[in-house]
Amino acid sequence: MRRFVLILIAPLLAAWGVATLGGGGPVGGAPSPTTVGDNFDRGDSDSLGANWTEDLGNLEILGYSVEPTGAAGSNTTHFARYTGQALGTSDQWCVFQAGSVGDAFDNSGCQFRQGSSAQPHYTIAVRGSEGNVYWGKTDNAGNFVGIQNCAPGAWSTGDWIGAFVEGTGASTHVGVVTGASDPGDCDHTAGCGWTLDCEWTSDPGANEISSGVYVGVRIYNQSGTSDVEPDVTQWRAGDK
Ligand SMILES: [Ca+2]
Ligand SMILES: [Ca+2]
């Protein structure tokens, strides 16, 4: 008797399924994630190319990397926004590889939730002199206000950082991974699928940046004992 009932129901389930999924559109209608990137592997140039807008200071392509113009150790902030492609959401991730060691790579990192013109945004930055990573808010003049920080450890030439920012208010979720290898694109599972060095679920309060669909790179020309030009050799970012 039980088998007879199942046989009767099966055609009904099939018919219901066809009606529910009718129209051929994607289930749930979720937008596809967008990924952008730049390896800077092109000729030396003051211009970063058509995809970039330099909002503060002056970055350049030199030696297949992006770095500040001018002498090392000038204590100046430089940042650029990838305007070649807007992302679809403000839940964003970024990875890059740095080509500088120790205290030459201070206060440099990824920018999140930037606007179609310059606006205050989140920065997740390495402080090579401390071995620390900071999440904070950067204004248009480059001033940085820290929200959280942690200490993944020493920073070496060629190291990578990966970071993501999701949610707003008390649901804000931020994570960071650093190390000698490319952590890979964020796969949009919890924690991007990375083994995180730092993770915060902190309400940023007055320092919140709640929207913005552009991402970018910040490089600080740090004065330190090594005084070499800090640079980023490759960069990728995307959204959820
Ligand atoms: Ca430039
Ligand atoms: Ca490169």
Q: What is the pLDDT of residues 92-115, one digit of tens each?
A: 999 999 987 767 788 899 999 999
Q: Which ligand is nearest to the CA of 45?
A: 1
Instruction: Write the secondary structure of 157-200 as one string of H (helix), E (strand) and C (coil).
Output: CCCEEEEEEECCHHHCEEEEEEECCCCCCCCCCHHHHCCCCEEE
Average pLDDT over residues 206-224: 93
pTM of the model: 0.85
Residue 54 CA to ligand 1 centre (angstroms): 7
Ligand 1 centroid–CA 163 distance in Å is: 25
How big is the CA angle at 66 (ends 64 and 71), to the nearest 5 degrees? 110
Name every residue whose Cβ is closer than 8 Å to that of residue 4 and which is 6 or more positions away in sequence: none
Over range 146-160, report the average pLDDT: 92
Q: What integer pLDDT is reported at residue 229 of this predicted model?
A: 78
Ligand closest in space to the Cα of 219:
1
Q: What share of the chain is helix, strand, coil (3-state, %, to 5)?
A: 15, 40, 45
pLDDT at position 213 is 98
Residue 168 has what pLDDT? 98
Q: Measured between alpha carbons, how far is 196 from 163 in angstroms, rounded to an integer?
A: 9
Q: What whole-number distance in Å separates Cα of residue 218 and Cα of residue 107? A: 8
Closest residue by Cα to residue 57 from 43, 69, 42: 69
Q: Cα of 88 to ligand 1 centre, how many Å?
A: 27
Res 23: pLDDT: 36
pLDDT above 70: percentage of residues in the chain:
85
Ligand nearest to the CA of 56: 1
pLDDT at residue 7 in the model: 44
Distance of alpha carbon 144 from alpha carbon 140, whole angstroms: 10
The protein residues having their C-beta less than 5 angstroms from ligand 1 (an ion) are 46, 58
The Å distance, Cα 68 to ligand 2 centre, comes to 15
CA 224 / ligand 2 centre spacing (Å): 24
Q: Which ligand is the nearest neighbour of the Cα of 66?
A: 2
Q: Quick one: which ligand is closest to 48's CA?
A: 1
pLDDT higher at 180 or 13: 180
Cα 104 to ligand 1 centroid, rounded to whole Å: 20
pLDDT band at 139 (very low <50, low <70, confident <90, very high): very high
pLDDT in tens, 155-171: 888 999 999 999 999 99
- Whether 38 and 81 have beta carbons less than 8 Å apart is answered as no
Q: Round to whole Å and give the CA distance between 114 and 118.
A: 7
For the range 143-147, what are the long-range contacts, defined as Cβ-Cβ under 8 Å and sequence gap of 24 or more?
Answer: 144/107, 145/207, 147/200, 147/202, 147/204, 147/207
Determine the average pLDDT of the residues in 219-223: 85
Whether 46 and 56 have beta carbons less than 8 Å apart is answered as: no
Q: How far is the CA of 73 from the centre of ligand 2 (A)?
A: 22
Ranges of each domain in the chain: 34-239
Q: What is the pLDDT of residue 225?
A: 58
Lowest-confidence pick of 42-51, 102-111, 134-143, 220-229:
220-229
Of 132 and 27, the one with more pLDDT = 132
What pLDDT is recorded for position 21? 34
CA of residue 151 to ligand 2 center, whole Å:
27
Residue 231: nearest ligand to its CA? 2
Q: Among 97-106, 178-187, 188-197, where is mean pLDDT lowest? A: 97-106
- Closest listed ligand to the CA of 58: 1
- pLDDT over 60 at 202, yes or no: yes
Alpha carbon distances (Å) from 137 to 15, 134, 202: 53, 10, 14
Distance (angstroms) between ligand 1 centre and the Cα of 58 equals 4
- The yes-or-no verdict on residue 4 having pLDDT over 90 is no
Give the CATH number of domain 34-239. 2.60.120.560
